[in-house]
């Protein structure tokens, strides 16, 4: 009897233990409050609101439909194309006269006729003349020139050769088209053939003037006439010179 009671007691204990294990499992499976709450609409609304807030923070605000148009705020740096400043003018020469720009340097080339008269011989010589002038202002310049002329044969196979050179002041009335001027040149002179007992070199003084006709801003045509005084053969010669050519301005 004792053995049978012990067996029944053990069987009852086992049944009670199994009943205790099965009951919580069924309660967890069927009575989980969290699972029931997750199935409600409240949790879905909170989840949707949270996602919307996160998306708003992660993305920039949408631009208006007219974002590609002109900006709403104008600045001082925005300048219309039709109101842009014009291009700067080209640089001008160093001074202006007569309402027109002009240049300081003149370089002249031309041909010359030199009438030489002396007690030893007379000659009509033809040659070339070169001059250069620099204007310190619109009417005053410093000029230097050189001329060389040649005459036919005289004195037993001797040809006359005359050269003058010097520098001096030049005064010009510089107008739009015509430019009359005066100058005085002081320097020296050289002649051939050599005469017995006399030097081939002496002083030279030129006084005269001319006029330049402006063809374009860089080129003029020139006519010139000068009185030339020399001192060959221990005497004074009163000579005359005509020249014509062209002048470059730069």
Is residue 141 located within the same domain as residue 207?
A: yes
Say whether both 20 and 112 belong to one domain. Answer: no
Residues 138 and 244 in one domain: yes
Domain containing residue 31: 2-50
Q: What is the pTM of this model?
A: 0.59
pLDDT digits (tens, 9 = 90+) for 18-58: 655 554 444 444 445 445 545 555 445 454 455 454 455 55
Res. 200 pLDDT band, cuts 50 70 90: confident
Pair 197, 108 in one domain: yes
Residues 137 and 218 placed together within one structural domain of the fold: yes
**In the block, which residue shows the tokens 């003058």?**
164
Q: Give dist(CA 195, CA 191) in Å, integer.
A: 10
Question: In this structure, are 136 and 241 located in the same domain?
Answer: yes
Do residues 161 and 37 both lie within one domain? no
Residue 189 tokens, joined = 């002179």
Mean per-residue pLDDT over the chain, rounded: 76
pLDDT range class, residue 67, cuts 50, 70, 90: very low
Cβ of 125: how many Cβ atoms within 10 Å?
23
For residue 165, give the nearest of 245, 241, 249 by alpha carbon. Answer: 241
- The domain boundary residue, chosen from 35, 50, 65: 50
pLDDT tens per residue, range 90-149 = 666 555 544 456 789 999 999 999 998 887 778 899 999 999 999 998 899 999 999 999
Q: What tokens appear for 36 in the block?
A: 């029931």
CA distances to 9, 40, 129, 143, 244 from 106, rounded to whole Å, are 144, 106, 14, 9, 15
Number of H helices, E strands in the chain: 3, 10
pLDDT score of 245? 97
Q: CATH number for the domain including 136?
A: 2.40.160.20
Residue 75 lies in a domain: no
> Domain check: are 133 and 26 in the same one?
no
Continuous H helices in the chain: 2-31, 33-38, 41-58
Q: Are strands 105-117 and 100-102 parallel, antiparallel or unpaired?
A: unpaired
Q: What is the pLDDT of residue 140?
A: 94
**Residues 246 and 110 sit within 8 Å (Cβ to Cβ):** yes
């Amino acid at each position: 009897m004792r053995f049978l009671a012990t067996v029944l007691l053990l069987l009852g204990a086992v049944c009670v233990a199994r009943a205790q294990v099965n009951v919580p499992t069924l309660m967890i499976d069927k009575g989980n409050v969290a699972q029931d709450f997750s199935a409600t609409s409240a949790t879905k609304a909170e989840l949707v609101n949270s996602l919307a807030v996160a998306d708003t923070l992660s993305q920039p605000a949408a631009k208006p439909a007219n974002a590609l148009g002109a900006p709403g705020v104008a600045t001082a740096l925005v300048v219309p194309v039709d109101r842009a400043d014009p291009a700067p003018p080209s640089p001008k020469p160093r001074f202006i006269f007569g309402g027109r720009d002009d240049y300081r340097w003149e370089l002249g080339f031309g041909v010359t006729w030199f009438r030489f008269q002396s007690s030893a011989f007379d000659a009509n010589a033809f040659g070339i003349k070169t001059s250069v002038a620099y204007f310190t202002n619109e009417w005053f310049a410093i000029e230097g020139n050189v001329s060389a002329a040649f005459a036919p044969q005289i004195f037993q196979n001797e040809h006359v050769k005359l050269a003058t050179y010097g520098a001096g002041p030049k005064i010009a009335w510089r107008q739009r088209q015509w430019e009359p001027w005066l100058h005085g040149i002081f320097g020296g002179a050289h002649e051939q053939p050599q005469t017995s007992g006399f030097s081939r070199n002496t002083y030279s003084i030129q006084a005269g003037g001319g006029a330049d006709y402006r063809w374009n801003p860089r080129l003029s045509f020139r006519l010139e006439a000068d009185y030339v005084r020399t001192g060959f053969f221990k005497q004074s010669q009163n000579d005359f010179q005509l020249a014509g050519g062209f002048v470059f301005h730069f």
